[in-house]
Structure 1
Amino acid sequence: MSSFLVAVDYENQLTDFYPDIDDEIKKEYFVGCSDFKQDVNFSQFDLKINDTMDNSNDATCSNENNFALVPVSTSPNSSIKSSSIDEAPRQCVVCDEPTKCYHYDVPSCTGCKTFFRRCLVTGKKYKCQYGGKCDIKKGEDCRGCRFERCLVSGMNAAAIQYPAGVNVEGILENVKQLKRKLIEDNRPIISKMLPTFSETEQRRDINFLLYLEAKQRKLRESEYDPTYLYSVKLRDLLERASELYLADKFEKPSHWPVDQNAIVKKLVEQCQRRKESKSETLSCEMEKKKKLFVAVDLILTVEMAKVLPAFNCLSINDKEVLMKHVVVVNMLLTQSFYSYQMHSDVIILPHGIIPTKLDQQLGRNNPIKWETHCRTVECVKRVALNPEQFVLLKAIIYCHPAVEGLSDEGRNIVDSYHQRYSKTLLQHLQNEMGSAAGASKFAEVISLISTYFHFADKAKQAHLIQVMQMGKERLNCKNKHILFNECMI
């Protein structure tokens, strides 16, 4: 997994940006997320989970993201770009000449703006004869180093108005590859500019969410099975330390994916033995040993929420009210997204079992469950969510302010972060796709919120039907799965 280096020291700055994460609860970096393909250098994170816990009209950019230029605010109400961007810049970040303008999303002079545009439009390539060691800020005239500084400083190639007939997509792809090569080759221009820049607030939020998501996925796709949490109440779980820091302590079982047909055969045999024994209390050894993924997914959804900055600002009452409202929504979204990434049309569990297929093979018919396991994935597939859009959508749902029972103070906090993540998603999409296309994509992604709240209601209905259909031998399920039953009401 190639990484695009983000110019920020997370070990020192995570605490500054997220003050609720203190030194005591920092932990070694999670390294087991190679299949969560993102061009983010996760190795710069050093985090253990808390015990509580001027825009261009057509600006777009690649996923590799620009280096940021200005300090950022930690306030949830702050804009995606720093408030200092409203002030006129003083120096060009490329050549250090005086300027009062932003060009292609960075403070730059007219000369560097024109030079950068001309290089891309004409396709001319310049190579430094001295290995990229020229100091443009001291007036050394090297077009190769100047162009590299334009790239590293974050000049947005997609913000340029290109002449008709120019292959814009080809240019943007070439710029993406050039940026990546600069990083991977460790060009001198990189080390010169790293101390100068910190990443944008937008990128920082996205990277933090991706980091937490990678931890959640590592636990989800491992032998981690917190049965000791099945019988706790939601409020008690919210007051416990988040377990995301355990991600490196568990591995993916070597026998995954399992053979579903073999499992069905064993289930049928055990059901037959149960009937022959005429005992309604005969335990099923397979059921004892199996990992209850729906419960694990629900728990991990709570565990991730406990680390979000918004939740650390809420009272325990507000945390409980909010989590009851959104936990099933984000659980379904997570299951759907990873099933989509596995190229499945229905929800598929990490060990390879497809619940709807299992129901069919066992002769169980639940139309509502079919809807929550099939249509959910269809929606993600239709919108074609990528990991960055996915984690931002989850964050927006986590911070859903329209919840009955929230205190006024809590609602204001949640709403401020809801707006923050919404603005981040919009800006990110517009940076990738352009203003109009990005806004259209934003509306498409945001429309999934109401859709998944609908699916969550359906999932709760399906759970109620399943409980009502339980035999006497499973009446003790209520005591064994207190947390799940509480959240599915």
Structure 2
Amino acid sequence: MSNLSGSATGSACAVCGDQSSGKHYGVACCDGCSCFFKRSVRRGSSYACIALAGNCVVDKARRNWCPCCRFQRCLAVGMNAAAVQEERGPRNQQVTQYRHARRQTVQVPSAPSPTAHSQALHFQILAQILVTCLRQAKANEQFALLESCQQDAILQAVWSEIFVLRASHWSLDISAMIEGCGDEQLKRLIFEAQQLKADVLELNFMETLILCRKELAISAQYGIILGSHSNAALVSLARYTLQQSNYLRFGQLLLGLRQLCLRRFDCALSCMFRTVVRDILKTL
């Protein structure tokens, strides 16, 4: 049995709001949500809400954040699990298996670990900070001259450096979020970046240097553009620090920036953050 019934191409996905590719399992939705629903039903996947509240936002940018809430959204809009099962076996047997899997899926621990709960909330807050960092980078005066596809390619390569630089100098105190995430490497990276104690202008100069490194250019044409802006940012940073009569500051900032760029972002949150980056760049 085909999972397509009727045509709804051109409408919005009932699950996440993305462009629908037609009717899948009785509901107009995108290919991503259709495949997610089919995979979840066939595997009898058991999900737990990352916030343990069951009310996470499911939209184009955040549909991959919480599989539990995404699956419940699929069911809420009327996606037919029986149609998935009919594609590969007798209906009665498969529906029985699905009902059992669904009962397992919707179960939420009656006494969730306070640590797990707080870590999930801290991740969500840090993810929102990451989204803000990406938006700020997109608004960088020099970087904005590039085409959107070029910007996205570069941001996917340097997002971790931008995040650590900005998060370590966040305008509000987010130390509890960093501490509560339970990731020792991320805490160390943030702590080391905090030692730069950069002001707003210095942060902007360093961000431009990260975004405009010539080796990140996709082509020779963009390499020339980025190289010129990188040199301009270096000159501006040198002038600014010398105007402050701090002759060692320029070297300190460059050394700190070099260390930041050499650090590998292999902390436990890095894979989840990469998903956020991939999804959010599609909407910026």
TM-score by length of 2: 0.52
* C-alpha contact 2:60 2:279 (8 A) present in aligned 1: no
Q: Deviations over 1:326-376 (max 9, x none)?
A: 2211111111122xx77xxxxx62xx63443453xxxxxxxxx31321343
**In the alignment, which of 208, 230, 235 is matched to residue 395 of structure 1?**
208
Q: Number of aligned pairs? A: 180
Q: Percent identity?
A: 10
Offset of residue 281 of structure 1: 5.6
C-alpha change, 1:328 and 1:227, in structure 2 (3 Å) is farther
**Runs of 5+ unmatched residues, structure 2:** 1-55, 65-102
2:192 maps to 1:378: yes
C-alpha change, 1:314 and 1:358, in structure 2 (3 Å) is closer
Superposed, 1:13-162 pairs within 5 Å as none
- 3-state DSSP class of the match of 2:168? helix
- 3-state DSSP class of the match of 2:176? coil
Matched residue, 2:237: 425
Offset of residue 482 of structure 1: 3.8
* C-alpha contact 2:165 2:193 (8 A) present in aligned 1: no
Could you tell me how far apart the structure 1 residues matched to 2:57 and 2:106 are?
25
Offset of residue 291 of structure 1: 7.1
Amino acid at match of 1:392: F
Could you tell me how far apart the structure 2 residues matched to 1:408 and 1:333 are?
28
**In the alignment, which of 243, 250, 256 is matched to residue 448 of structure 1?**
256
Could you tell me how far apart the structure 2 residues matched to 1:461 and 1:420 are?
33
Higher CA-based Rg: 1
Matched residue, 1:181: none
* C-alpha contact 1:232 1:482 (8 A) present in aligned 2: no
2:166 maps to 1:315: no
C-alpha change, 1:232 and 1:429, in structure 2 (3 Å) is farther
* C-alpha contact 2:238 2:250 (8 A) present in aligned 1: yes
2:110 maps to 1:282: no
- 3-state DSSP class of the match of 2:139? coil
Matched residue, 1:356: 179
* C-alpha contact 1:330 1:397 (8 A) present in aligned 2: yes
C-alpha change, 1:407 and 1:307, in structure 2 (3 Å) is same
2:61 maps to 1:230: yes
Amino acid at match of 1:462: A
* C-alpha contact 1:301 1:331 (8 A) present in aligned 2: yes
* C-alpha contact 2:137 2:143 (8 A) present in aligned 1: yes
Could you tell me how far apart the structure 1 residues matched to 2:60 and 2:128 are?
9
Offset of residue 409 of structure 1: 1.2
**In the alignment, which of 260, 269, 272 is matched to residue 463 of structure 1?**
269
Q: Deviations over 1:148-195 (max 9, x none)?
A: xxxxxxxxxxxxxxxxxxxxxxxxxxxxxxxxxxxxxxxxxxxxxxxx
Q: Deviations over 1:297-323 (max 9, x none)?
A: 221122112222323321233212211
Superposed, 1:406-425 pairs within 5 Å as 406-425=218-237
Amino acid at match of 1:319: Q
* C-alpha contact 1:315 1:410 (8 A) present in aligned 2: no
* C-alpha contact 1:230 1:482 (8 A) present in aligned 2: no
Q: Deviations over 1:210-269 (max 9, x none)?
A: xxxxxxxxxxxxxxx997463489xxxxxxxxxxxxxxxxxxxxxxxxxxxxxxxxxxxx
**In the alignment, which of 138, 143, 168 is matched to residue 336 of structure 1?**
168
C-alpha change, 1:299 and 1:396, in structure 2 (3 Å) is same
Offset of residue 387 of structure 1: 2.5
Offset of residue 399 of structure 1: 1.9
* C-alpha contact 2:122 2:178 (8 A) present in aligned 1: no
- 3-state DSSP class of the match of 1:402? helix
Matched residue, 2:136: 304
TM-score by length of 1: 0.32
Amino acid at match of 1:410: Y
* C-alpha contact 2:156 2:277 (8 A) present in aligned 1: no
User: What's the Cα RMSD here?
Assistant: 3.7
Superposed, 1:210-225 pairs within 5 Å as none
* C-alpha contact 1:231 1:482 (8 A) present in aligned 2: no
Offset of residue 427 of structure 1: 0.2
C-alpha change, 1:372 and 1:413, in structure 2 (3 Å) is same
* C-alpha contact 1:401 1:415 (8 A) present in aligned 2: yes
Could you tell me how far apart the structure 1 residues matched to 2:221 and 2:57 are?
33
Offset of residue 417 of structure 1: 1.1
**Runs of 5+ unmatched residues, structure 1:** 1-224, 234-277, 343-347, 360-368, 468-476
C-alpha change, 1:355 and 1:424, in structure 2 (3 Å) is closer
Matched residue, 2:20: none
Offset of residue 380 of structure 1: 2.8
Could you tell me how far apart the structure 2 residues matched to 1:378 and 1:358 are?
17
Kindly indicate whether structure 1 or structure 2 has the higher relative contact order, using CA contacts under 8 Å at least 6 residues apart.
1
Matched residue, 1:293: 125
